[in-house]
Amino acid sequence: MASFSSVPATPAVAFHSAYIVGIAFIAALGGYLFGFDFAVISGALPFLRQQFALTAWWEGFLTGSLALGCMVGCLVAGQLADRYGRRPGLLLAAGIFAVSSLAMALAPSLTLFVVARFAAGIGVGMASMLSPLYIAEVSPAAVRGRNVAINQLTIVVGILVTNLVNYFLADQGPDAWRWMFGLGAVPAVLFLLGVLWLPESPRWLAQAGQVARAEAVLHKIGNPAFVETTLAGLDTRANSDEPRARFGDVLGADVRPAVVVGVALAVFQQFCGINVVFNYTSTIFAAVGADLNRQLLETIGIGVVNLGFTLVAMFLVDRLGRRPLLLFGSLGLTISYLALAFLLQTHAAPGLVSVVVLAAIGTYGLSLAPVTWVVISEIFPTRIRGVASSVATVALWGAYFILVFTFPILAQAIGTYGPFYLYAGICLLGFFFVRAKVKETKGQTLEQLEGTFARH
């Protein structure tokens, strides 16, 4: 029999801890796909440069083509999630990713590779929006932050495992990159099989007027007191003629404050610049004379540090709260980038560069990486959560594309160190935005947060 974990604020209410964690980990396999495709390009780029004779422009576009697909995937997922439920979108995302991974591995030309990577982005974009949204909707308030952070944990596990695989495949000849991409089909199939076991989100079921099904799912999650308390707060459509959410609804005055915060945090998570470190590790360390073997080893170190600090963040996000971690991350990255830019500018030893890079990764893993996804999954009302989350996630991927597309061009024009001074300034601005606009969300139900972020 599953153990129960009591919610401190309401002793009579309890939930099935093992079942909730199991649901969260399966849904978070979508994050693993995100981490895989995010990291595989770093190890594959040295091979792709030779295979396709990439210019700086094409290198940036090839890397960023994933983000363009992600933007499409988010828009599709938002509509699917609000019309048909969260689970069908997760199934579709897994299928798209499995097929596109094989297509990238077999691509005979640059054009077909970019098309396949764009398709992979559709699957990644759908999963990146739906996985944290689903986990937030099935999780009790007391553990929601930790559970949504599991999605970030699987992202960093995906990054670490992929970097390890890249390292061991690097000596397998000029076609090693094909194996790097093709192996992505394995976690995609596992994700697809896992989603078949997941229940539909009880909050979506209630919103769709399927209250009996919502109640049945809640009985799997917690005890009768939990079911009664949760149902009392849910927004149901059983006796409502209210139309389903459309993208225009995110402009409504009552939800605009939440949308502004969600979109701004999503853009900041990318413009903070850390994904340049993830995607262009080889470029950064080549600038200080490190060889390919050192560059690939560095990606493994980045993955280990990222994983360790993400585990710490999972412990802290429901204790310290979201806002303190965001403030810490903003200032920490500002300082780290200033140091990194100086070291790259002065051609410091690779060891010193490595220390600063790992400090920046640790700071990000403890703060902006998991907490941004947590906040985005929490702050929107249930009736528009799907479309609003997709808008915020589209903004995130749009910012990611701009970031990774422009870095090779900027690095070629002003030196590898130059962009990091820019990223430091953005992080400082992000600190002041969080301080002024982001409210604390820990310990509140999703329904309570609708009031916190609404404009009345």
d(CA 113, CA 412): 24
pLDDT for 129: 83
3-state secondary structure of 4: strand
The full set of domains in the chain, from first to last, is 13-198+245-453 (1.20.1250.20)
Phi–psi pair at 223, nearest 5 degrees: -80, 175
> Which one has a higher pLDDT value, 321 or 234?
321
pLDDT confidence tier of residue 1, bands split at 50, 70 and 90: very low
CA distance 387 to 77: 8
The closest alpha carbon to 60, from 339, 262, 275, 268, belongs to 275
Instruction: Indicate if the pLDDT at residue 106 is higher than 80.
Output: yes
pLDDT of 5: 46
pLDDT in tens, 410-438: 988 898 899 999 999 999 999 999 999 88
pLDDT for the residue numbered 245: 59
The length of the chain, given as a count of residues: 456
Between CA 59 and CA 75 the distance in angstroms is 26
Q: What is the rounded CA–CA span in Å between residue 147 and residue 17?
A: 11
Q: By percentage, how much of the chain surpasses pLDDT 70?
A: 89
Neighbours of 9 (CB within 10 A): 9
Q: What separation in angstroms does the CA of 108 have from each of 57, 58, 103, 384? A: 20, 17, 10, 42
Ranking 38-52, 118-132, 288-302, 411-425 by mean pLDDT, the lowest is 288-302
Higher-scoring residue by pLDDT: 295, 229: 229
- Residue 12 CA neighbour count, 13 Å, CB half: 6
Burial category of 145 from C-beta neighbours within 10 Å (exposed 0-12, middle 13-18, buried 19 and up): buried
